Amino acid sequence: MIVAYDIGGTRIRAARVVGAEVTPLGEAPTPTADFAEFVEAVGRFATGATGIALSVAGVVDPATGRIKVANIPCADGRALGPDLEAALGLPVKVLNDADCFALAEAHHGAGRGHRNVFGIILGTGVGGGLVIDGRVVTGAGGFAGEWGHGPVLTGDLALPCGCGQTGCLDTIGGARGIERLHRLRGHGEAGSEAIVEGWRRGEAAASDTVSVWTERMAGPLAMVLNVVGASVVPAGGGLARAADLVAALDRAVRVRVLRPSAEPLVRPAECPGEPGLIGAAAAFGEMG
């Protein structure tokens, strides 16, 4: 029995997962300051488990097992998987939450039947995960799939990013980013949902923002697809719930990729239920 966990900065959610079937086991506050308390919080849901799989908003270095996770200081810098294995006596798999999303979509969502799947997150920021032949690609340092970072934006959009670089898509691509872009275009304050709704109604200011957003996001994403050869791009996160916005991005991407496609490449995520938990469990199946 695999017990999967969605580890957030405030809550831990646990479930028994078989394929795409999720049976919740409960949740608890996330201990962020004391690692012994963190272990206890994970362990309380592990009774009867044969393995544990964690989806965490952090980056795991596959060479060392050490994790960089800003919102859980007691786990930051630890070899989290091995430390939990030693404490709980169970095999443990720890994976970035965007990689879990991509795996869930590859196995049970919009990526079913595709060899190469690039899952993207358009949430508060921009993230991604790459799955090839059903297996997640973590890459050097664990950073594979991070298309939201790198100096690709220029001019007045070359904004400082939290990663330390300037001009990253993360600064304009997610929900907070499109709001920032709206302000930079001189259109004042507006929430991401209001911007998208204004675009739907044909409002000039919102339409300008979405047009710039689409154009600036499409080029880098098309280049990623040309490099990794993905034939589908499931999109998740709050901003991606706007299916028509995802469709607009898809149209802009398809005219920029080398491989012609009559079918949509960028599509709303389809995995039912809890992709973080489902993807974490799928990642556990890759062990060994």
Residues 123-132: tens digit of each pLDDT = 999 999 999 9
Other C-beta atoms closer than 10 Å to the C-beta of 64 total 11
Q: What is the pLDDT of residue 18?
A: 86
- Give me the amino acid identity at 36: A
Query: Whole-angstrom Cα distance, residue 287 to residue 285?
Result: 6
Average pLDDT estimate for 5-25: 92
Residues with Cβ < 8 Å from 43, sequence gap 6 or more? 87, 88
Q: Which CATH architecture has domain 112-268?
A: 2-Layer Sandwich (3.30)
Q: Which CATH architecture has domain 2-99+274-284?
A: 2-Layer Sandwich (3.30)
Query: Whole-angstrom Cα distance, residue 144 to residue 130?
Result: 7
User: Which residue(s) pair with 56 in the sheet?
Assistant: 7, 96
In the chain, CATH 3.30.420.40 covers: 2-99+274-284, 112-268
pLDDT of 60 above 70: yes
pTM: 0.93
Average pLDDT estimate for 56-71: 92
Reported as a single tens digit per residue, the pLDDT across 66-107 is 999 989 999 999 999 999 999 999 999 999 999 999 999 999
Mean residue pLDDT across the chain? 95
- Residue 224 pLDDT level (bands cut at 50, 70, 90): very high
